[in-house]
Copies of this chain bind each other. A is one copy, B any other.
Amino acid sequence: MTPRARHLPSEERRAEAVEAVIKLAASANPEEITTSAIAARMKLTQGALFRHFPTKDAIWLGVMEWVSDRLLARIDRLAGAESDPLAALEAMFLGHVDFIAEHPGVPRMMAGQLQNAGETPAKRMARALVENYGNRLRRILAAARAEGVLPPGLDIDAAAALFLGMIQGLVMQNLIHGDSARMRTDALRVWVIYRAGLLAAVHTQEGGA
């Protein structure tokens, strides 16, 4: 009568655990995701988790790797499909927003990792993701400026920071309204202003105080 649960190889269980964390983070504070909760969602006992991960932070590291791989792959694919750098930037932006809409827990997890006190591997991975993302942004922005699509005096670093902030703002709105569907239309509306800012930016460089 007992269902006699199958034993799965460790690698599959690790993937399951990562997926479980992503799903759990969609509706719970990441700090409150316990090993028991992860195990329960995998239909395992809590102790069994530690057959596949040496420590809880190793699970978080796996999660951050998952996020990094998927997000960077997606934005690279979307940006690569556009020839116009501004269109590439917009595709990156909307792709990122979609990614967050599909996995609402991701920004929460990222923030949670980044503000952890110690220097855990998972935190390093999160920081690396932000840096890689920023590098891609700056590369495209610089290309657009070089092509003359964006004004020559455009402050690339500030533009990249604002790009990331735009996403952060949408996440916060989403956190308050809880309406995930609304995020995409909001994204388009915010993009209009951001785009105009890039194109019209007056360059402090030359007109300083």
Contact = CB atoms under 8 A, between A and B. Distances in A.
B166 A169 contact: yes
Contact of A169 (B161, B190, B198): B161
8 contacts: A29-B31, A158-B192, A189-B204, A192-B204, A195-B197, A197-B197, A199-B200, A200-B200
A123 to B, nearest CB: 11
Given A108-B115, A167-B165, A201-B192, A158 B186 contact: yes
Which 3 residue pairs are nearest across A and B when measured between Cβ atoms?
A165-B169, A197-B197, A168-B168
A193 B186 contact: no
A136 interface: no
A179 interface: no
The complex is assembled from copies of this chain, and their number is 2
A163 B204 CA distance: 20
A105 to B, nearest CB: 10
Interface stretch (A1-9, A66-74, A170-178): A170-178
A181 interface: no
A194 B170 CA distance: 16
Interface residues of A, number: 52
Nearest to A204: B192
A162 B169 contact: yes
A201 B190 contact: no
A182 to B, nearest CB: 11
A92 to B, nearest CB: 15
A14 to B, nearest CB: 26
A75 to B, nearest CB: 17
